[in-house]
């Protein structure tokens, strides 16, 4: 499904790559690094937003450090039309503990990320979502995140990427104070908000905002600031490849993961336990290209790939690393 297929020129590509590296950079910083004026940088960023290529800028938080685990739940619906599915996804989207929601076609119709502090909590929250689906739920399954690596939009840079951001499972609990929470809530979906605006919105003095923001980054609670890019508009298909592994050594699994992280079409690598062991987000120009990626993975790792399923993602309804449950 190609929606729009907008062609980026070299300057737009460089700007997007800089935003992907750190979306909190100022227009002046981006201008300097891309060799254009501040006015041109500002104009082009606005244009990318107007074209719907960038929908917003989000703050990437390592929720594992805050005592939350991440669960991916996959749903297949039945007896549902477009309007009904839209209404159902809107309801799921509004839930406090949902951090990611995508819909598409393939093995599953939707995937939901749920944040929970324990298996018991997850069980309760999952039940809530299942009840919301009611008779429209045909089948569901889930998998638990062990670690994830948010690599970068590799198609933006000829060098193949801008460095990666890691997520972990629940690992100790860093306590957030009220000021931290206010700031995180403020920039969760608006990562480029200037310090002065954060101060105005939170009612905190400038120096306090500055201090807490730096501290959140230093303590690795905030892992990065990213643009939410609609890859469909750029003519890319977004596939989620879900892989079950055979019995294999840790070393061979690591080899597979590191091959995936380097691979030019792979944008996100998630190591999970449950129904699937590895989830890969892949950006390709066509179904043929996706098939090539699959054949290459199967060719190099036929000894460990047991089975795979995939889903073409049409819509990313939500991406939030600051669940309201946390705030």
Whether 227 and 57 have beta carbons less than 8 Å apart is answered as yes
Q: Which residues of 281-295 are buried (b: 16+ CB within 10 A; e: fewer)?
A: bbbbeeeebbeebbe
In tens, the pLDDT along 288-319 reads: 999 999 999 999 999 999 999 999 999 999 99
Whether 70 and 169 have beta carbons less than 8 Å apart is answered as yes
Mean pLDDT, range 256-277, rounded to an integer = 93
Nearest to 107 by CA among 128, 63, 76, 70: 76
Instruction: Answer whether residue 1 shows pLDDT above 50.
Output: no
Q: How far apart are the first and last CA of the chain?
A: 37
Question: In this predicted structure, what is the pLDDT of residue 163?
Answer: 66
Which pTM value belongs to this model?
0.92
Mean pLDDT, range 214-219, rounded to an integer = 95
CATH of domain 175-218: 1.10.10
Whether 113 and 99 have beta carbons less than 8 Å apart is answered as yes
Whether 32 and 245 have beta carbons less than 8 Å apart is answered as no
Mean pLDDT, range 190-203, rounded to an integer = 97
In tens, the pLDDT along 40-85 reads: 999 999 999 999 999 999 999 999 988 899 999 999 999 999 999 9
- How far, in whole angstroms, is CA 177 from its chain's centroid? 26
């Amino acid at each position: 499904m190609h929606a729009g297929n907008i062609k980026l020129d070299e300057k737009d590509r460089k700007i997007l790559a800089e935003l992907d590296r750190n979306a909190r950079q100022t227009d002046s910083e981006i201008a300097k690094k891309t060799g254009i004026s501040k006015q041109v940088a500002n104009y082009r960023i606005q244009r990318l937003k107007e074209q719907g290529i960038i929908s917003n800028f989000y703050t990437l938080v390592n929720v594992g450090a805050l005592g939350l685990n991440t669960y991916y739940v996959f749903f297949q619906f039945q007896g549902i039309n477009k309007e009904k599915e839209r209404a159902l996804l809107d309801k799921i989207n509004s839930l406090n503990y949902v951090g990611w929601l995508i819909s598409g076609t393939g093995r599953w119709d939707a995937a939901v990320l749920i944040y929970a502090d324990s298996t018991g909590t997850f069980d309760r929250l999952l039940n809530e979502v299942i009840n919301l689906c009611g008779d429209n739920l045909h089948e569901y399954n889930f998998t638990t995140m062990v670690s994830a690596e948010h690599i970068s939009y590799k198609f933006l840079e000829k060098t193949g990427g801008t460095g990666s951001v890691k997520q972990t499972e629940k690992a100790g609990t860093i306590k957030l104070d009220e000021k931290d929470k206010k700031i995180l809530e403020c920039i969760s979906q608006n990562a480029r908000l200037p310090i002065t605006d954060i101060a105005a919105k939170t009612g905190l003095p400038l120096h306090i905002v500055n201090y807490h923001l730096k501290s959140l980054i230093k303590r690795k609670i905030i892992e990065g600031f990213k643009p939410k890019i609609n890859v469909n508009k750029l003519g890319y298909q977004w596939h989620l490849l879900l892989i079950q592994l055979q019995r294999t050594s840790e070393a061979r699994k690591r080899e597979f993961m590191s091959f995936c992280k380097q691979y030019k079409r792979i944008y996100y690598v998630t190591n999970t336990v449950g129904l699937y062991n590895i989830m890969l987000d892949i950006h390709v120009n066509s179904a043929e290209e996706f098939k090539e990626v699959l054949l290459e993975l199967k060719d190099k790792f036929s000894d460990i790939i047991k089975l795979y399923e995939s889903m073409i993602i049409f819509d990313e309804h939500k991406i939030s690393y600051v669940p309201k449950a946390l705030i």
